[in-house]
Structure 1
Amino acid sequence: MTSVRPRVLTHLTAVALAAGAATFAVATPAHADTAHGCVYPRVCFYLTYTDFNNNKPAAAYKDYGLQNLGPLARQSTWVLNTRNDDGALIRTANGTNYCFLPNKNNAIYSPITIDIRDSLSC
Structure 2
Amino acid sequence: MLRRTFAAAIAVAAATAMTPAAAAAPRAQTHLTLTVGAPGQTPATAVLRCGPTGGSHPRATAACAAIAQVDGDFDALNVGPDRPCTMEYAPLVVTANGLWQNRPVAHERVHPNRCALEVATGSVFAL
Work out whether the TM-score is over 0.5: no
**Bigger helix share:** 2
Query: TM-score band, normalised by the shorter chain?
Result: 0.3 to 0.5
Looking at both structures, which has the greater relative contact order when contacts are Cα pairs under 8 Å and sequence separation is at least 6?
2
**Bigger strand share:** 1
TM superposition score normalised by structure 2: 0.38
TM superposition score normalised by structure 1: 0.39
